[in-house]
Amino acid sequence: MPFTSASVMSPEGSSSSLGPADHGSLLDTCERALGRARGFQRPILASWSRPLDVGDPVSVWSRARRSTQRSFLWQSPWDGGSLVAIGSARALRGRGEHRVRAVRDGWRTLVKDLVTGGVAATGLPVGEGPLAIGGFSFRAEDAYETGRLPDALMWVPALQIRSAVPAPGAEGRPVPAELRLNAVLLHDSDPEQVADNLVHLARLCLTPDPNADTERRKRRDRPGRTCHSTELPGAEAWKGLVRGATDRIRAGEFEKVVLAREVRVTASAPFDLPAAVERMRGANPGTTVFAVDHEEYTFLGATPEYLVQVGDRTVHALGLAGTTPRGATPEQDEACERELVGSAKIQHEHEVVVSMLRDALADSCTDVTAETPPQVVKLANVQHLSTKVRGRLAEDSTAGVLDLVEALHPTPALGGHPRAQALSWLADNEGLDRSWYAGVVGWADRSGQGQFAVAIRSALLDGPTASLYAGCGLVADSDPEAEYAETCAKLRPMMSALGIE
């Protein structure tokens, strides 16, 4: 297609454009990548960038996701940064026990001879250049058996926008951001066609839709949807599994296991995903909001837990384990907090997780420390014990964020302890396809920096069908009724976000 200037505008109206000079620079980047692809006889990644101002990332994602079968939204409280990614320049996949390693190796190979162009933005959160984005299922066999989401899928987006945290008092106004366009060039690629296609994608994604407000009003005025819910397994059967797990713990087979359950909801009409993301973001401050579109499926959530962050060779992990409900009054809430902090059962469950994180980071880090005492994190429906674990990559360590994902996932907060025995019991007894629930979602850059969240408080959607998940850490004296009530409290935020009564 012939090149035309593409207007790049925020929803609030500030604008810039991809003009002839930008197109020329992008084309030059693609031509250099083509020359390298022909010389090396293998695919070469080209990545071109320029600064821009952008409005609300959720608005950009809501509009842009319609143009592709694969998209990604990420808003993190850890550094205030946001990421919107549309389309796919190259997919990175893995299966089985070493699926994370396969993705890591594919990513390293792809960026080894990266060709860059344009102007990089400054003042952004940690991370640079093109990113690999996506996630991994809880168990290696989950997605392989069911085919809903892949075992391991990360990809380089065709278009990515990273934005910084708004300055104090600047909320609602455009913020500094970086537009990055990525493509993989083969020996027979047409660089002009590649550049034109990327500019066209930018125009589709970033030009405001004048009908957006009308469409939002139509969705809001649509008659109420009806929903039918099924618990998998049923409540009494799940409580029986709790009793079976605690019997095995008392028999010494393992120390802790995390048992999950699913609520499958079939609605009379497809769910409004942008509205669900808006509700998640508004009702769950302090959480990481994410949404992954892959073909007909969308996996989204608002998680309070991260697995690992790596930036400037500093590694952060988070132990989040031990839960009580929120109280209806301030006095009741304080009583629940005292129970959380004072419970020997909960403290033991929490320490199992923190101990594993310390040991795992010690393999590649120096100066590994865990904050004491654990902090209490209060969310809308529950409160948790939380401990931050920090380390510094050793001078001779080549580990990056994907290496640490492989070492840490799944932690005892997701599967149990010891890992092998707990996961074996779950495989034989849980009877549940967790898919990416209790897996990890996030991003990595070419230098090994990145952020990965633990994918809890989440749901997997396919049109009018939603699978919502929640789990509980079980130890020897866990009570089935209390654990079931805890899962109900954990399910409520996602049910509310989806408008399920």
Q: Which residues are catalytic?
A: 256, 305
Phi/psi class of residue 431: alpha, beta or left (left: φ > 0; alpha: ψ in -120 to 50)?
left
HSE at residue 153, side-chain half, CA atoms within 13 A, is 20
Give the whole-angstrom CA distance, residue 157 versus residue 139: 25
Give the whole-angstrom CA distance, residue 422 versus residue 382: 25
Residue showing tokens 């992954």: 292
Phi/psi class of residue 43: alpha, beta or left (left: φ > 0; alpha: ψ in -120 to 50)?
beta
User: What HEC string does 329-342 produce?
Assistant: CHHHHHHHHHHHHH
Give the whole-angstrom CA distance, residue 285 versus residue 482: 26
Tokens encoding 467: 């699978």
Considering only CA atoms, which of 159, 361, 377 is closest in space to residue 286? Answer: 377
User: What's the burial of 41, exposed, middle or buried (CB within 10 Å: 0-12/13-18/19+)?
Assistant: exposed
Tokens encoding 295: 């073909």
Give the whole-angstrom CA distance, residue 299 versus residue 292: 5
Helices (H) and strands (E) in the chain, counts: 13, 25
Beta-strand runs (E) in 312-454: 314-325, 365-370, 375-378, 382-393, 416-417, 440-444, 450-454
Give the whole-angstrom CA distance, residue 178 versus residue 124: 8
The DSSP result for 140-205, as a single string, is: HHHHHHH-SS-SEEEEE-SEEEEEPPPPTT-TTS-EEEEEEEEEEE-TT--HHHHHHHHHHHHHHH
Give bridge partners of residue 156 from the DSSP assignment: 90
The DSSP result for 297-347, as a single string, is: EEEEEEES-EEEEEETTEEEEEEEEEEEEPPSSHHHHHHHHHHHHH-HHHH
- Which helix (DSSP H) or strand (DSSP E) does residue 352 occupy? helix 344-362
Tokens encoding 282: 């508004």
Considering only CA atoms, which of 157, 200, 183 is closest in space to residue 33? Answer: 183
Give the whole-angstrom CA distance, residue 85 versus residue 72: 5
